[in-house]
């Protein structure tokens, strides 16, 4: 097998502000693996939070030697056994490599990736759509537009300097889209006392669940908070590795699994198996990325209580197609492999 890389710039349709930053664009590095005239693709995106820049991703992906494997199936076996990448390789890199190999293996077998993972029916899921920290009028307008487009779940970013701004933003979004289920995500912006004071007010406004309200680093505090909270608490930044989730299983109501932070599809499946029956349920999340980057998670979407797979919908131009989502529902295309296709050939080569 041989592999190649391309780097592209993904511009957002508008800047997305969360509690710790505002993002207008990010780079994506595409890995293509070729074997017997078939190609498999994977994507890793840059992240300030995870300390992954473009040069780092290119260097790390270049260092993964796939030429020593006869086919993608044997490379996948090595990856699952921990023999393809070293333990210090970031999960986002491992996830991108696995994506390309799964895509290629599915195409070789002539079946979608979800069939390789043991699911017969094509996964379909209602996805949340994110509204960032923005002006009230803008939040209300966006909520109305999303509800009219078919979105049943809206995720509201929180963590403004004045928490009353968050309260009012949720209120106007609820009024603009009264039938939508609301999720809240402060990205760890609140202290424990703030969270205890705020969550009853958000529950009264109809918020269905909250992600990572307090800063990561103290899973015991998050677990204790979840026990007394008036609405479900979903761990995100505190739930990165399998061991993180093991500490939180049964203590929080949900864990947000992003393939780029846990290490890919099979790492996510191990987490799902770990929490089964514990009272902690699965949320599938994502980073802002293209359809290529989102597709592996969509093949798992039927296994999650919550799906937050809208990263591709935030882009000004998505260079891949195949998972939908503009109507509030993500789905696999039925094509072999990941089921995605590139719609624009880009010239910016890594």
Show which of 110, 141, 161 is a domain's final residue.
110
- Clarify whether residues 106 and 121 are in a common domain: no
Q: Are residues 140 and 100 in the same domain?
A: no
Question: How many other CB atoms are found less than 10 A from the CB of residue 53?
Answer: 12
- pLDDT for 344: 65
50 burial (CB, 10 Å; 0-12 / 13-18 / 19+) is: middle
- State mean pLDDT over 83-98: 94
The pLDDT > 70 percentage for the chain reads 98
Report pLDDT for 350. Answer: 42
Q: Are residues 90 and 144 in the same domain?
A: no
Residues 62 and 21 in one domain: yes
Would you call 155 a catalytic residue per the annotation? Answer: no
Q: Would 348 be classed as within a structural domain?
A: no
Q: How far apart are CA 178 and CA 168, in angstroms?
A: 15
Token couple for 283: 């949320």
Please indicate, yes or no, whether residues 104 and 46 belong to a single structural domain of this protein. yes
Nearest alpha carbon to residue 301 among 341, 339, 330: 330
Answer whether 0.85 is exceeded by the pTM.
Answer: yes
Would you say residue 201 lies in a domain?
yes
Flag whether 211 is marked binding. yes
pLDDT in tens, 31-87: 999 999 999 999 999 999 999 999 999 999 999 999 999 999 999 999 999 999 888
The residue from 2, 107, 155, 258 that is catalytic is 258
Q: How many domains does the chain have?
A: 2
- Structural domain containing residue 201: 117-342
The answer to whether residue 345 scores a pLDDT higher than 60 is no
Catalytic residue among 107, 155, 157, 261, which?
157
Question: Residue 216: which region, alpha, beta or left (left: phi > 0; alpha: psi -120 to 50)?
Answer: beta
Q: Which two tokens stand for residue 99?
A: 């994506």
Q: What is the CATH number of the domain that holds 310?
A: 3.20.20.120
Same domain, 311 and 199: yes
What tens digit of pLDDT does each residue of 273-284 get?
A: 999 999 999 999
Among this protein's residues, is 157 annotated catalytic?
A: yes
Output the domain CATH number for residue 52. 3.30.390.10
Question: Could you say which of 110, 133, 151 is where a domain stops?
Answer: 110
- The rounded percent of the chain whose pLDDT value lies above 90 is 97
pLDDT in tens, 16-34: 999 999 999 999 999 999 9
Q: How many residues does the chain have?
A: 350
| Per-residue pLDDT band at 327 (split at 50, 70, 90) | very high
User: What's the whole-number average pLDDT of the chain?
Assistant: 96
Mean pLDDT of 212-233: 97
Distance CA 22, CA 16 (A): 5
Query: Binding site annotation covers 236?
Result: yes
Domain boundary among 85, 110, 135: 110
Would residue 307 count as lying in a domain?
Answer: yes
Q: pLDDT of 132-190, one tens digit each?
A: 999 999 999 999 999 999 999 999 999 999 999 999 999 999 999 999 999 999 999 99
Sequential DSSP letters for 69-124:
-SSHHHHHHHHHTT-SS-TTS-HHHHHHHHHHHHHHHHHHHTSBHHHHTT--SPPE
């Amino acid at each position: 097998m041989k592999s190649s890389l391309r780097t592209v710039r993904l511009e957002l349709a508008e800047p997305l502000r969360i509690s710790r930053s505002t993002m207008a664009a990010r780079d994506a590095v595409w890995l293509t693996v070729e074997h017997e005239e078939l190609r498999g693709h994977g994507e890793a995106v840059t992240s300030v939070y995870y300390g992954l820049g473009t040069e780092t991703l290119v260097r790390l992906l270049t260092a993964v030697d796939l030429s020593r494997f006869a086919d993608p199936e044997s490379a996948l076996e090595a990856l699952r056994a921990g023999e393809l990448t070293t333990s210090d390789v970031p999960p986002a890199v491992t996830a991108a490599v696995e994506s390309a190999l799964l895509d290629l293996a599915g195409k070789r077998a002539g079946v979608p990736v979800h069939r390789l993972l043991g699911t017969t029916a094509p996964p379909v899921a209602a996805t949340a759509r994110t509204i960032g920290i923005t002006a009230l009028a803008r939040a209300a307008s966006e909520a109305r537009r999303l509800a009219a487009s078919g979105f049943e779940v809206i995720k509201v970013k929180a963590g403004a300097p004045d928490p009353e701004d968050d309260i009012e933003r949720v209120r106007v979004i609820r009024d603009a889209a009264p039938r939508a289920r609301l999720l809240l995500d402060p990205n760890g912006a609140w202290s424990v006392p703030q969270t205890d004071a705020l969550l009853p007010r958000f529950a009264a406004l109809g918020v269905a669940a909250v992600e990572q309200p307090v800063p990561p680093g103290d899973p015991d505090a998050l677990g204790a908070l979840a026990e007394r909270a008036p609405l479900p608490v979903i761990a995100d930044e505190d739930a990165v590795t399998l061991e993180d989730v093991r500490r939180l299983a049964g203590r929080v109501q949900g864990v947000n699994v992003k393939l780029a932070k846990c290490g890919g599809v099979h790492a996510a499946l191990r987490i799902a198996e770990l929490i089964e029956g514990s009272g902690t349920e699965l949320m599938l999340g994502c980073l802002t990325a293209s359809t290529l980057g989102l597709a592996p998670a969509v093949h798992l979407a039927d296994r999650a209580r919550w799906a937050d797979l809208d990263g591709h919908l935030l882009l000004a131009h998505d260079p891949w197609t195949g998972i939908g989502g503009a109507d509030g529902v993500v789905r696999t295309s039925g094509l072999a492999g990941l089921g995605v296709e590139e719609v624009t050939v880009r010239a910016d080569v890594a």
